[in-house]
Each structure stands twice: as structure tokens, then as C-alpha cells.
Amino acid sequence: YDDRDGYIWFNGEIVPWREAKVHVLTHGLHYGSCVFEGERCYNGQVFKLTEHSERLVDGGRIMGFELPYSVAELDAATNAIIAKNGFKDCYVRPVAWRGSEQMGVSAPNSKINVAIAVWEWGAYYSDLRLTRAIYDRPAPTAAPVHAKAAGLYMICTLSKHAAEAKGFGDALMLDYRGYVAETTGANLFMVSNGALHTPIADCFLNGITRRTVMDLARQRGIEVIERRIKPEELQGAQEIFVTGTAAEVTPVRAIDDVTYPVGPVTRDLMDDFRKLTTGAA
Ligand code: PMP
């Protein structure tokens, strides 16, 4: 992704894409002192931009550092870099990390860097089939599970690569107790007896899309139940779908050898979400 035209917002400046580089002794690279965001811009407007900027700043605080930019400055920088690249519809990737001023686990005086890259990114999943992940989501006492922290994605990349090697699109991650958690990059819902069930977000990201879709379901009069879900319960579900900024609302067509239709609740919520994000009536 480093060799392309375009511009990246980097520590307050707009730089050519190929020049947005860091040193090999970057703390964030060695020790995972890094948080990021994922946003989508629809028709020139970033969906829930301020919520994403707030989550980035909060994520930095969870990781023990203060971003040198305010939420309002991050919002403005995001809009500026989208405009500079001339995009109307794109994905947005802000990232904040400890720099290369200090080496070692402890590096409290390292510089906090922030960059924002944007690129055109179509549908994240197609014909999504899941298989059980090789790693579980850690307990809240084992990792900063509510931050979108780069280090937490180590188990996601390993799990997703293992799933892809078996011919699946992504992995279904369980939590540290053995309950259903999420995929490697999206939250999970199941439709059962007309109600929408989703795991309690106590050890993974309470996605902005997840909360949006829960509201959209309630507006349709669908009961939304957050609870602990055992993996075997998914077998009896009528519909399963996942939600996320990149994934939007994507139906799950199979989990291992159990298949699911793209059902009416999933279709309605895909439609509602599309209308909400694009402003289409
Ligand atoms: N879980 C994980 C692991 C993710 O990476 C994402 C994407 N940010 C989500 C859930 C969904 O979060 P959101 O809807 O805020 O994008």
C-alpha cells in the first residue's frame, strides 16, 4: 500500500503518499503502542466522524498516551485529507503511535504521531463463510480490549489467515469464556424467533456500526437482546450477519458446515443502514 499516488495527513501536514514513512525503531512497531480507526466516507461525508475521532483519542488514553490533536482537529484533518485526495466515497484510516525517540518497553517520553490515510475500498466481504478461530478474544484483565489497539489485531490476522487457508472468508472468534464474540473485524448478530441476539460487548469492541444497527432494529420494532451466546446456539439461528465500518451489514452464509439464508431481517437492516449512511431515501 505504500507505492501509490495520493496524499496522507501526517502530524499536521499533508505529505505525498510515498513519503509518509517511519523509522525502524518505532515503538509502536516493536511493542504495539498504537491505536487506529476505520471510517467510511459516503457521498463526501464520513459516517459518525466525531464518534470515531473520540474513540481514537479515548483509545490513546487507554494505551497510556495523549494524542497531540483534539477531536475537532482530527475531524477537520480527516475532511481535509479526503478533499485533498478528491474522494467522495472512501475508507479512512487514522492511526496514532509512539515514535522512535526511546527504545525499550518503557518509553513514556516518545513522541505521539498521528497519520490519516484514505483510499477507495469496496465491499469488505463477499459470500461470507466463517470457521472457528484458532485464537480467542482475551479477558478484559488480559488486554485493553475496548481500545482499537493494533496489538489486539495480532490474534485477528493469525486467525483470519488460518481461516483463509481453509477456504473460509473469516474466523468466528469466541471469548475467553468460550462464548461467541465476533469475527476478526466485525461484530456478530443472530436472528432467532424474530428477535435479534448479539453478544454483550464486554471483551471486544462495541462497534459504532453495531450500536447503529441495534437502533435501526428497534426502530423497526425488532426486539434486541444482548446476552451470552454459546457457539452451538448459532446452529439453530434463522439468520446471521456481521456489522462493522468496513463490513457494513454483511450476511453470514455459513459457519463451518451449517449454512444460512440471507433472510428478511438481514435484508431490511442492510437497506436501513445503506439509507442512513448514504442519505438515500
Ligand atoms: N470488532 C473488530 C475487531 C473490529 O476491527 C471492528 C471494526 N472497527 C469492529 C468490531 C466493528 O466496529 P465499528 O462498527 O465501530 O467499525
Give tens-digit pLDDT for 27-68. Answer: 999 999 999 999 999 999 999 999 999 999 999 999 999 999
Please determine, for residue 281, whether its predicted confidence score (pLDDT) is greater than 80.
no
Cell 514513512 belongs to 21
Which pLDDT tens digit goes with each residue over 144-196?
A: 999 999 999 999 999 999 999 999 999 999 999 999 999 999 999 999 999 99
Cell numbers placing 233: 446456539
For ligand 1, the distance from its centroid to the CA atom of residue 103, given in whole angstroms, is 30
Strands 170-174 and 128-132: parallel
CA distances from 90 to 42, 85, 191, 246, 251 (A): 7, 10, 30, 10, 22
Q: Which atom number of ligand 1 is nearest to the Cα of residue 38?
A: 8
- The mean per-residue pLDDT over the stretch 208-220 comes to 98
Q: Which atom number of ligand 1 is nearest to the Cα of residue 182?
A: 1
From 46, 137, 160, 187, give the residue whose CB has the most ligand 1 atoms within 8 Å, as the site to mutate: 187
pTM check: above 0.90: yes
For ligand 1, the distance from its centroid to the CA atom of residue 244, given in whole angstroms, is 5
Identical fold, 7-119 and 128-278: no
Rounded to the nearest 10 degrees, the angle between the axes of helix 208-219 and helix 49-62 is 140
Please state which CATH number belongs to domain 7-119: 3.30.470.10
Q: Which of 180, 217, 220, 185 is CA-nearest to residue 201?
A: 180
Tell whether ligand 1 has an atom less than 6 A from the beta carbon of residue 205. Answer: yes
Tell whether ligand 1 has an atom less than 6 A from the beta carbon of residue 149. Answer: no
- Gap between the Cα atoms of 112 and 59, Å rounded: 13
The separation between CA 117 and the C-alpha centre of its own chain, rounded to angstroms, equals: 15
| pLDDT band at residue 18 using 50, 70 and 90 as cut-offs | very high
Please state which CATH number belongs to domain 128-278: 3.20.10.10
What ranges do the domains of the chain cover?
7-119, 128-278
Beta bridge partners of 98: 112
Do residues 107 and 131 lie in contact, with contact meaning Cβ atoms separated by under 8 Å? no
Do residues 246 and 185 lie in contact, with contact meaning Cβ atoms separated by under 8 Å? yes
Q: Average pLDDT of the chain?
A: 97
Q: Is the ipTM of this complex over 0.95?
A: yes
φ/ψ of 250, rounded to 5, equals -120, 125
Do residues 65 and 58 lie in contact, with contact meaning Cβ atoms separated by under 8 Å? no
Please determine, for residue 280, whether its predicted confidence score (pLDDT) is greater than 80.
no
Active site residue 148: yes
Catalytic residue among 111, 148, 230, 275: 148
